[in-house]
Structure 1
Amino acid sequence: MRVLLTGSSGWLGRHLAPLLRAAGHAVTGLDVAPSAQTQVLGSVEDRGLVDRTFAAHGIEAVIHAGALHKPDIARHPAQRFVDVNVTGTLNLLEAAVAAGHDRFVMTSTTSLMISREIRAETGPAAIWLDEASSPLAPRNIYGVTKLAAEGLCRVARAEHGLSCIVLRTARFFPEEDDTHRQLSGENLKANEFLHRRLAVEDAARVHVLALERAPALGFETFAISAPTPFRRAEAEMLKRDAVSVIRAHFPEVEDLYLRRGWHLPESIGRVYDAGRAARLLGFTAATDFAAVLHALREETALPFAHDPAYTSPALKYS
């Protein structure tokens, strides 16, 4: 298929575009920032550009991975988030419907499932988060606009029959976390594979799978994260004494962590459950916490990217 990939110059796009081509698709990348994966420079908020791109490249399907993200809150007003994340999504959906497409994949975020109350983690047990979690009360403009964009996909399916797959991806960025400073970046990322992280390679792979499966699924929303080793019955203990629960699942973990001078989380307040994606989409992330421990045991490279110096190329152009 001739696929339009938005956000092609970003961290996900640079991994996803080659994977799509390897699967036999012709990829046209659209982004505000230039890169080897981007053929069209501009923003999805420009409907004229979207229409011209569809016509010039004979676009047959869309993977919409371009957006303003949480770190952009410090750089852009709320209206820009609406213009890019909401209006931009509407532009693409309307163009896809007009072109007679049968599939549309949108990158969303697990962040929109995190309300202020959930983020505070004040309850007695870890909160289990999946596609059925409600009510959804995003805590910032990023989450609000991504939830609105998901709604537009749902309407496009209901009113026009466009098959839409929404992928709420867990965090897979390579840079340092902008809110947590207690642990080193690698230690924090490793810990997050227990309950809230995804390797970018897995994020790319699930988009290709969603593109293939969309017509059979119609409209679906999936939480996409590394598979957690935990069970819901362990939620209270995870909040009270996470180390004991982790040790029960991985007896050698403390010795392996000690070699690096790393620390396990003493408490885990929320867990992302990607089980539905495994059941309905046929996707399970290849990189999980066991893979991290394997790398520590064998003293090989860690199976995830960590780059404190990484800066999104879009920062210079958006």
Structure 2
Amino acid sequence: MRVLLTGSSGWLGRFLAPVLRAAGHRVVGFDVAPGVDTDVVASVADGGAVAGVFADGRIDAVIHAGGLHKPDIARQPPQAFVDVNVTGTLNLLQAAVAAGCGRFVFTSTTSLMISDAIRREDAEAAVWLDEGSGPLEPRNIYGVTKLAAEGLCRDAWLTHRLPCVVLRTSRFFPEEDDTHRALSGENMKANELLYRRLSVGDAARAHLLALERAPAVGFDVLIVSAPTPFARQEAMALKRDAAAVIARHFPDAAALYATRGWTLPASIGRVYDASRAEAVLGFRAVDDFASVLAALRRGEAPPVAHDADYVGPHAI
């Protein structure tokens, strides 16, 4: 297939483009910033630029991985999020429908599921989050616009029968967390693989599977994250003493962490359940907490990409 990939110069795009090509697809990269895999330098908010890519009728599918992200809140006004994340998504959907594309994959975010209450982690137990969780109360313009874009994808399926798969990805960014700095970046990312992170390589694989299976799926919204080792019945224990729960699942975790001077989480306030993506797409992340510990046993670097100096294309 000839696949239009938005966000081709971004963190996910630079991993996803080679994965698509390896699977036999031709990639047409579209991004606001130049890049190795970017053929068209423009914004998805520019309806003319989007229409121009589809003009020759040779786009078979779209993976819409581009957009403004949470770190952009400090750099961009709310209107920019509406223009890019909402209007941009609508531009792509309308062009895809008009061109007779057979499938559309949208990169969304688990962030839109996190209300202020969930973020404060005031509950007595860890909040278990799956596709049925709600009501959805996004806490910032990023989440609000991503949720609106999901709705546009649903409408494209209901109105035009354009198969759309929405992937609510958990964290896979390489930079430092912009709100929590108590732990080193690698330590924090390793911890998050227990409950709210995946590797960028796994994110790319999930998008490929969504692309391949979209016609059979029709429309769906799926959480994509590393598989949690925890069960729902452990939610209260995770909030009260996460280290003890981790020790039950991974008896040598504390000792292995000590070799790096790392700290296990004392409390976990939320858990993303990605089991439905496995059932619908056959996707299960390869890089998980167990693989982190396996790397530490071998004295190797853990499978978490950390780059404190990373700056995305929209910040340039």
TM-score category, normalised to shorter length: over 0.9
Contact 1:2 1:57 in 2 (8 A): no
Q: What is the CA deviation profile of residues 109-159 of structure 1, one whole-angstrom value per residue up to 9, with x for unaligned ones?
A: 000000001101001000000110010000000000000000000000000
Listed as ranges, the matches of 1:30-179 within 5 Å are: 30-56=30-56, 58-179=58-179
Listed as ranges, the matches of 1:218-237 within 5 Å are: 218-237=218-237
- Corresponding position: 1:279 with 2:279: yes
Q: Counterpart in 1 of 2:20?
A: 20
Q: TM-score, normalised by structure 1?
A: 0.98
Deviation at 1:281, TM superposition (A): 1.0
How many residue pairs are counted as aligned between the two chains?
A: 316
Q: What is the CA deviation profile of residues 210-269 of structure 1, one whole-angstrom value per residue up to 9, with x for unaligned ones?
A: 000000000000000000000000000000000000000000001101111110000000
Listed as ranges, the matches of 1:232-311 within 5 Å are: 232-311=232-311
Deviation at 1:315, TM superposition (A): 1.5
Partner of 2:196, secondary structure, is coil
Give the Cα separation in 2 of the matches to 1:14 and 1:30: 12
Give the Cα separation in 2 of the matches to 1:123 and 1:36: 46
Give the Cα separation in 2 of the matches to 1:262 and 1:201: 24
Give the Cα separation in 2 of the matches to 1:165 and 1:53: 21
- Corresponding position: 1:192 with 2:192: yes
Moved over 3 A (4+): none
Deviation at 1:56, TM superposition (A): 4.3
CA RMSD in angstroms comes to 0.7
Give the Cα separation in 2 of the matches to 1:309 and 1:84: 25
Give the Cα separation in 2 of the matches to 1:145 and 1:67: 10
Deviation at 1:305, TM superposition (A): 0.7
Give the Cα separation in 2 of the matches to 1:118 and 1:28: 39
Give the Cα separation in 1 of the matches to 2:143 and 2:204: 21
Q: Counterpart in 2 of 1:205?
A: 205
> Which one-letter code corresponds to 1:295 in the other structure?
A
Contact 1:28 1:57 in 2 (8 A): no
Give the Cα separation in 2 of the matches to 1:33 and 1:57: 24
Give the Cα separation in 1 of the matches to 2:302 and 2:55: 43
Contact 2:28 2:38 in 1 (8 A): yes
Partner of 1:260, secondary structure, is coil
Give the Cα separation in 1 of the matches to 2:152 and 2:314: 24
Q: Which runs of 5+ in 1 are unaligned?
A: none
Give the Cα separation in 1 of the matches to 2:247 and 2:217: 38
**Which sits farther off after the overlay, 57-66 or 202-211?**
57-66
> Which one-letter code corresponds to 2:137 in the other structure?
A
Contact 2:129 2:271 in 1 (8 A): yes
Q: TM-score, normalised by structure 2?
A: 0.99
Q: Aligned residues: percent identity?
A: 69
Q: What is the CA deviation profile of residues 35-69 of structure 1, one whole-angstrom value per residue up to 9, with x for unaligned ones?
A: 10100000000111011111247211100000100
Contact 1:126 1:236 in 2 (8 A): yes
> Which one-letter code corresponds to 2:222 in the other structure?
F
Deviation at 1:314, TM superposition (A): 2.6
Contact 1:164 1:220 in 2 (8 A): yes
Give the Cα separation in 1 of the matches to 2:168 and 2:38: 24
Partner of 2:4, secondary structure, is strand
Partner of 2:135, secondary structure, is coil
Deviation at 1:84, TM superposition (A): 0.2
Give the Cα separation in 2 of the matches to 1:200 and 1:42: 24
Give the Cα separation in 2 of the matches to 1:23 and 1:43: 27
Q: Which runs of 5+ in 2 are unaligned?
A: none
